[in-house]
Chain A
Amino acid sequence: METATQTTGEDAPAPVKIALRNVFKVFGDRPEAAIRMVHEGRGKEEIHAATGCTLGVKDASFDIRAGEIFVIMGLSGSGKSTLLRLINRLIEPSAGEILVDGQDITRMSKRELIALRRRDMSMVFQSFALLPNRTVLDNAAFGLEVAGVGEQERREKARAALQAVGLGAYVESRPDQLSGGMKQRVGLARALASEPTVLLMDEAFSALDPLIRAEMQDELLRLQAEHSRTIVFVSHDLDEAMRIGDRIAIMQHGEVVQVGTPDEIVSSPANDYVRSFFRNVDVTQVFRAGDIARESQVTLIERRGLAVPAALERMRQHDRDIAIVVGRDKTYHGMVSADSLARAARSGAEDPYRRAILAEVEPIAADETLSDVMGKVAESPHPVPVVDADRRYVGAISKSTLLRTLDRSGN
């Protein structure tokens, strides 16, 4: 690391900006005991049984270089958002060192930490987290305002940042007047206004529509080309990681299983889990139903006064023969087909949705492995709905989704 900070040559790697050394995060009352058990080589379940603690991040060590886009990737629950929050200590690490520009932030006092967050780091959130009581301009100026920058100067800088993300005309709007993509542009402007050297992005584009997401990725790459920053980007989306990442860290059950460029990871995956993202040996054992279920089906929310013609029209527009009926809280009620719905409506039943539900369709549980559900998907004439442990609708698996997943395994 010492040597790395001196290199500036063309081909030499950029200096290390952030370094993690044996970082742990244990959720629970007895982190020391849990970490000792990790060193003894005990498994996650065993540790949970013995100490009641959950391992959020397990022994993470890697370097993030200045000016790169570093993507932390993994399925949900793999600890990637926790890992990101350790870097600015929104979550306190249980053990290990986190060096930013060579300084160990785990030893910093509250005051030093606040100074670091104001000066060097900012963050973009999946849910945008814009303050609803402020205008777009005041949201973008928030970091500067907190840091005590004068009104004139911070408004100028915030205006420039908004201009840079293409929102110059919306400075006086309120967040609730903007679309999702625009909100996240404000989030980005807020993070850029204080000109930080590190940008932490937590699933920043995951809540956006696919088209807007690609647009925002391009925007980020453009901004990065203009003004190079160190970006740590958390994502669960392989395409996104490959598209924007200079290097990718892959996390599994709280552990960083591989760090490398997209090419390195594709060509020599560290284990089956990593391989499963690209050309899995047996994708059906690694992925669970919830992992590949897509919310691409038409959903109808069951409520009084919902007209059948409108529902049929929506299905026609989306070119679907079937639709999923859910409750207001997304609980799965059943699947209907255009035929059954039309028949139920014609019969004049009071509750056409109940009447139209296809009795033969059984939802599958999100935690079943693909090998267990393959048969059902193959046999069913329709996509098969997937529900979680609370019977909430997660998505559906169609034959084509299944085939595409299997195809990714290559051979």
Chain B
Amino acid sequence: MQDWNLGIGEGADAVVNFVLDHFTPALDAIAAGIGFVTDGIRAALTGVPMLAAVAVIALLALWRVGWKFAVFAVAALLLIGGMGLWERMMETLSLVLAATAIAIVIGVPLGIAMARSNGVQLVARPALDLMQTMPAFVYLIPAAMFFGLGAVPGTIATVIFAMPPVVRLTNLGIRQVHHEFIEAGEAFGCTPMQLLLKVQIPNALPSIMAGINQTIMLSLSMVVIASMIGAGGLGNTVLTGIQRLDVGTGFEGGLAVVVLAVLLDRITQSFGQKRAPSGLRALFARRNGEAAAQPVKA
């Protein structure tokens, strides 16, 4: 059978070359902007002494989830430290946080725009499908060509892969706000912006938080791949293990990724739940063991 060649590959090539030839200053500006975010977060996180960071995360776990989980968090973090992967883990965390921050800044407004306009939804949907399913290596190469090696293209590739859930769930959350709430808002004289801020977003918040949680999880799963273009972090450890056929190193890196994933998942999920126990009072109640046995009332 004869193969056809429609020249789509050549077209993509030409587009990449055209962008490289004509938009280098713009690309550099984007790289500088993203670099500023990632470097800032990385510097802040790696600057914190390990024990202080463990204490902060443990307190967060205690406040949001419960004392059992706090114990687990301390053990898990000490395990990572014990494997000598603390520094790498913090790099990964900073990459995840930077990518998530950018994904939220772009994704939530995009989700809102999709919810308000069927036209935007029509265009954005296939784009999101593409972002989620296009094999990461395909855009990793042009990303490296545009932005060089390092954390910046890693962050961009991570944003592309991890942003769709927050967009989709923001869109869904706002579309699913009960019609009666919208009517009530309008009947009392809300402007479209007031309706969005006072009625739609508060009611869609659990869904939006679920989207953010998924975005964090997906960006964590992207770190190994992003390390191939020099993003650093735990992905490097895994990559080293693969390259040297060193099962032990690879396993340690992988285990650290999983542990970090569990911590991030539980803590971010707790922010999406309605009326989690809040404030210092709950914290002390938990410390005294009073509330420890009580289920969290959703």
Contact = CB atoms under 8 A, between A and B. Distances in A.
Interface of A: 85, 88, 90, 114-118, 121-123, 125, 127, 129, 131-133, 142-143, 145-147, 190, 194, 200
A206 to B, nearest CB: 14
18 contacts: A90-B186, A116-B189, A118-B189, A122-B187, A123-B188, A125-B183, A129-B178, A129-B180, A129-B183, A131-B181, A131-B184, A131-B202, A131-B203, A132-B203, A142-B198, A143-B188, A190-B188, A200-B187
Interface in B222-273: none
Interface of B: 178, 180-181, 183-191, 194, 198-199, 202-203, 205
A194 B188 CA distance: 9
Given A145-B198, A146-B194, A129 B184 contact: yes
B188 A129 contact: no
Given A115-B189, A122-B187, A146 B203 contact: no
Contacts of B180: 125, 127, 129
- Give the top 3 A-B pairs by smallest Cβ distance, nearest first: A118-B189, A117-B189, A123-B187
B189 A114 contact: yes
A121 B189 CA distance: 9
A116 B186 CA distance: 11
Nearest to B192: A110
Nearest to A123: B187
B184 A123 contact: yes
A298 B186 CA distance: 39
The winner among B189, B191, B194 for most chain A CB atoms within 10 A is: B189
A210 B160 CA distance: 57
A90 B198 CA distance: 18
B298 to A, nearest CB: 11
Contacts of A88: 187
Contacts of B189: 114-118, 143, 146-147
B198 A146 contact: yes
Contacts of B199: 131
Nearest to B183: A90
A275 to B, nearest CB: 34
Contacts of A129: 178, 180-181, 183-184
A85 B182 CA distance: 13
Contacts of B187: 88, 90, 117, 121-123, 200
A42 to B, nearest CB: 32
A397 B202 CA distance: 44
Contacts of B185: 146
B182 to A, nearest CB: 9
A277 to B, nearest CB: 28
Given A133-B202, A133-B203, A142 B188 contact: yes
B185 to A, nearest CB: 8
Which residue, of B180, B186, B187, B205, has the highest number of chain A Cβ atoms within 10 A?
A: B187
Contacts of B203: 131-133
Contacts of A133: 202-203, 205
B173 to A, nearest CB: 13
A123 B185 CA distance: 10
A372 to B, nearest CB: 35
B200 to A, nearest CB: 11
Nearest to B186: A90
Contacts of A145: 198
A125 B184 contact: yes
A176 to B, nearest CB: 10
Given A114-B191, A117-B188, 18 more contacts: A85-B183, A90-B183, A90-B186, A90-B187, A114-B190, A118-B188, A118-B189, A121-B187, A122-B188, A123-B184, A131-B198, A131-B202, A142-B184, A142-B198, A143-B189, A146-B185, A146-B190, A194-B188
A123 B203 CA distance: 20
A190 B188 CA distance: 9
Contacts of B190: 114, 146
A94 to B, nearest CB: 19
A59 to B, nearest CB: 25
Contacts of A200: 187
Most chain A CB neighbours (cut-off 10 Å) among B178, B190, B194, B202? B190
A183 to B, nearest CB: 12
Contacts of B198: 131, 142, 145-146
Contacts of A121: 187
A124 to B, nearest CB: 9
A133 B198 CA distance: 10
A125 B184 CA distance: 8
Nearest to A85: B183
A381 to B, nearest CB: 42
Interface centre among B180, B186, B188, B203 (most CB of A within 10 A): B188
A279 B202 CA distance: 50
A199 to B, nearest CB: 11
Given A131-B202, A132-B203, A146 B188 contact: yes
B99 to A, nearest CB: 29
Contacts of A147: 189
Contacts of A146: 185, 188-190, 194, 198
Nearest to A134: B202
A116 B189 CA distance: 8
A137 B242 CA distance: 60
Nearest to A133: B202
Contacts of A114: 189-191
A121 B187 CA distance: 8
Nearest to A200: B187
Nearest to B199: A131
A117 B188 CA distance: 6
A98 B205 CA distance: 38
A190 B187 CA distance: 11
A127 B199 CA distance: 16
